Amino acid sequence: MKSFLSGNHNAMLLACYRMRMRPATVLSAFILLLIIQIFTLLHATIIMFGDFNNVVNEMLVVTYSCQCLVMFLGAVRAGASVRQERISGTLAFHRVSPQSRLAIVMGLLIGAPILEWILASVLLPGVVLLGFLSGFSILDICIYECALILSALTISLFFIVGVLQINDERLKSTGSFLSNGMAFLVLYMLIFTIPSFSMMGAAENNYSACYHAFTPYFFFRIVEQAFSKEISWIPLNIALGIQLSVQIPLLCLGFWLAVRRLKSPDSPLLSKAQAYAVVLFAFALYLAELINNFAGESAHPEFVLGLAPLSCFMGLFGAFMTSPNRLLVIRGKCLKSGGGLAAWRRFPLSDSASCLFWLIGYSILTYLMTVVIWLLFNTLITNFYVSNNLSFLLVACGFVLAQVACFGGLYERFLLGRFHKSASLFAVFIFILWIVIPLFGLFFEEGSVMYWVGLVFSPIIASPTMVINYGGSGFTTGLQIFLWSGIVINLLLAFVFFSSVMKLRKRLK
Amino acid sequence: MISIQGLRVDYDTVTAVAGVDLEVHEGEIVGLVGPNGAGKTSLIKAAAGLIEPIGGRIVLAGADMLLDPEKGWLHMGYMPDFSPVYEGLKVWEYLEVFAVAYRIPMQERMGRIKYWVERLNLNSKWDECIQGLSRGMRQRLVLAKTLLHQPDVLLLDEPASGMDPLGRIDLREILKERAREGVAVLISSHILSEMDELCTSLAVMEKGVFLVSGTLADIRSTLRSESRLHIQLIPPVESAIELLEKWPGISGVQAKDSHTYTADFSGGEESAADLLAALHHAGARVSSFSREPEKMESLFLQIGGKEVS
């Protein structure tokens, strides 16, 4: 670890340090920070003249906000540095040097935002002093700072991973890169905001894995703690514990993904093991939220049905990320045929394997989750409404898994066949199938044949629609027919696609 | 030192390298020649471990690049056809970064950096930001980085592109010097005349395969290429000219001045010796007789015109 964090041993860290720590750059950053602090002090003094406590509170909040902002800019900087490294080709030089891949990632993670880290640490004494004056304990301040550092590391690492995942052509185009960045940010916000909204009213006094685990929570909390002093939220140390239990696995996952990308950039975006790890992580978060939600007074029995859209989303994500490309299929053929190619053990055959194998494992995992939920709510938490929902959940999960299998087969057939040259055509086809046809179907009367037919092949619209429909009308005959026929049709199509995939593979052999 | 067996590189629908074999031994400089898109860069990148081939085996300095790439990278110097540099670093800082990357002991680092900066005439740029360097200077800097850790194997993809004539001479001298010290060099270039002077053997690539490979002499004999004769005669010259025009394998006899003549000659060494003896027997007074081999460019054009077998 020491060698990873020393410029004398970590080349990437040294390069970032040399570039970012030029005296002129550092000086201008410090001056900018000083100006912000002076203006804040003036503003607080003028507005709240005579009220010393409020001046201190405002200064504390602004200083902590500055730390948050600077750390976030550091994370953006880390992503931008990886992009620059890839475009200029210097990352390739690091890749063909005898450094460990982990050292390169650590160098980027710590080195690229090093100036921002130093600026944030310069603000630290200010936060401590203002915190004391504002009545915070030393433990509180430590917890707020730990939460911030952990979040900054996680976001930086995920920016790095995000930029490593983008292919070269998209990376070189600034517009494409920015749109990818925006999409990433929106996804990040959604991931953290949706659970927060879902917890509103239900989890304020309870423990929410999603809500308490990310930076905005601590930011809003410090504001409330500074001004109102009436803390209705959970103890701060428990909130930090939740954050550690979520973000440390996320950090490990981030390192794993980044190291894999540096080792074999031509492989599928995720290995099958990584895809399973992501799914397990998401399911664990969901389960934690579920337990938390039902432990509270205001229980939402329908929340258990969230597993259906979640398994749909994670299934599509996994099928997309683990599908082998044509190159890997050919390599898989070489590996199988042997003949002097046994040396190519670095690329495991599983990477070339069809995503069908991943989908089977994923289906088992999803059904294990439903069994866990069923056991939980029939033994530990006896809840009639939830038990009643489970029969629908089993069929709904089967339906979304069939849809995912259908998409996985189609996507793999597309990649292995000649179609892969026209990616835009595939995107248009999926857009029509997933968005246009279902929206057209929704114009028809609810429960009519046309209404349901439009949804058969659209996982993203069918999942929420069937849950809403079930919430409104229950498990009606129409819904049952739709789900069972959807399962049969999608599985038949998946069978056709995967059979075709297997034939293609045989031909490649 | 460099052993490539059955290397195959595919890009989506295109096969860039279609199963080539190549051996570069200690002290050899092997040139890769071929038109754009022939697969030279793909071959070098795959050998360096930058792109993943579909099949084949690559061994650099005894290290299997797929089983133990770190060991291979420790002994390998790679230089691409453009200059990947950190614009914001100074010349010595850039080299220091890669000295750290290649685990050069701390006490040796600055000595080695200074040596290569001097050797590549970058002294005046020592403390300058790379942003202000010309393309040629950047190429020199990347070359210094490539040689910094004293690799046993050099993979150079058009290293001379963008260099001025002095830089090219330096490059040639350095590579010859490294080869004398036992380094195996694989170099691709479009500057064919320089390859002619530098390489011990050549491999001509097109459409992902080697059309011809071997030493220059081998390639010439394979192609039975034409050479140009330069003959200086002391008058009278008529009988000598008459003999030249009748001699099999000679065409296009031209007078450069009153007593210097040139002709295209398609025979080998023995045939040239026979011609000289015949001229002597015919009473011609030959003051100079030389055979200028076909230039690399002409060879390249000849090879390029042939179909891939």
Residue A208 counted as domain residue: no
Residue B85 and residue B212 in one domain: yes
Residue B181 and residue B212 in one domain: yes
User: Does position B274 have pLDDT exceeding 90, yes or no?
Assistant: no
The model's pLDDT over A399-413, given as tens digits with 9 standing for 90+, comes to 999 999 999 998 888
Does B85 lie at the interface with A, CB-CB under 8 angstroms?
A: yes
Residues in contact with A451: Cβ distance below 8 Å, sequence separation at least 6, in sequence order:
A441, A442, A444, A445
User: Does position B94 have pLDDT exceeding 90, yes or no?
Assistant: yes
Q: What is the mean pLDDT of residues A107-132?
A: 91
Query: Residue A303's domain spans which residues?
Result: 269-509
Does A11 lie at the interface with B, CB-CB under 8 angstroms?
A: yes
| Rounded Cα gap, residues A263 and A240, in angstroms | 34
Residue B210 and residue B196 in one domain: yes
Q: CB-CB: which of B6, B10, B49 is closest to A96?
A: B49
Angle ∠(A379,A385,A389) on CA atoms, nearest 5 = 90
Does A282 lie at the interface with B, CB-CB under 8 angstroms?
A: no
pLDDT at residue A203, as a whole number: 45
pLDDT at residue A343, as a whole number: 43
Residue A60 counted as domain residue: no
Residue B78 and residue B177 in one domain: yes
Residue B116 counted as domain residue: yes
CA of B246, closest CA in chain A: separation in Å? Answer: 57
| Rounded Cα gap, residues A399 and A452, in angstroms | 13
Residue B193 counted as domain residue: yes
Residue B211 and residue B239 in one domain: no
Does A264 lie at the interface with B, CB-CB under 8 angstroms?
A: yes
| Rounded Cα gap, residues A164 and A170, in angstroms | 11
Using an 8 Å Cβ cutoff, are A497 and A412 in contact? yes
Residue B119 and residue B41 in one domain: yes
pLDDT at residue A51, as a whole number: 73
Residue B277 counted as domain residue: yes
Q: What is the mean pLDDT of residues A373-380?
A: 75
Residue A463 counted as domain residue: yes
Using an 8 Å Cβ cutoff, are A400 and A490 in contact? no
Q: What is the radius of gyration, based on Cα positions, of chain B?
A: 24
Q: What is the mean pLDDT of residues A361-385?
A: 80
Residue B50 counted as domain residue: yes
Residue B288 counted as domain residue: yes
The complex scores an ipTM of: 0.79
Interface test with A, best of B42, B66, B78, B100 (most A CBs within 10 A): B100
Residue B44 and residue B153 in one domain: yes
Six-digit token pair at B286? 């030959």
Mean pLDDT check: name the lowest of A40-49, A389-398, B85-94.
A40-49
User: Does position A342 have pLDDT exceeding 60, yes or no?
Assistant: no
The CATH number of the domain holding residue B204 is 3.40.50.300
Residue B146 counted as domain residue: yes
Interchain pair B88, A19: CB under 8 A:
yes
| Rounded Cα gap, residues A30 and B119, in angstroms | 41
pLDDT at residue A215, as a whole number: 54
Does A14 lie at the interface with B, CB-CB under 8 angstroms?
A: yes
Residue B163 and residue B250 in one domain: no
Residue B40 and residue B163 in one domain: yes
Query: Residue B212's domain spans which residues?
Result: 2-221
Look at chain A and report how many structural domains it folds into: 1
Number of Cβ pairs < 8 A linking chain A and chain B: 103
Residue B79 and residue B184 in one domain: yes
Look at chain B and report how many structural domains it folds into: 2
pLDDT at residue A94, as a whole number: 92
Q: What is the mean pLDDT of residues A181-188?
A: 69
Residue A308 counted as domain residue: yes
Residue B284 counted as domain residue: yes
B287-292 LR contacts (CB < 8 Å, sep 24+):
B287/B232, B287/B233, B287/B234, B287/B259, B288/B230, B288/B231, B288/B232, B289/B229, B289/B230, B289/B231, B289/B232, B290/B229, B290/B230, B290/B231, B291/B227, B291/B228, B291/B229, B291/B230, B291/B265, B292/B227, B292/B228, B292/B229, B292/B230
Residue B168 and residue B127 in one domain: yes
Residue B199 and residue B234 in one domain: no
User: Does position A348 have pLDDT exceeding 50, yes or no?
Assistant: no
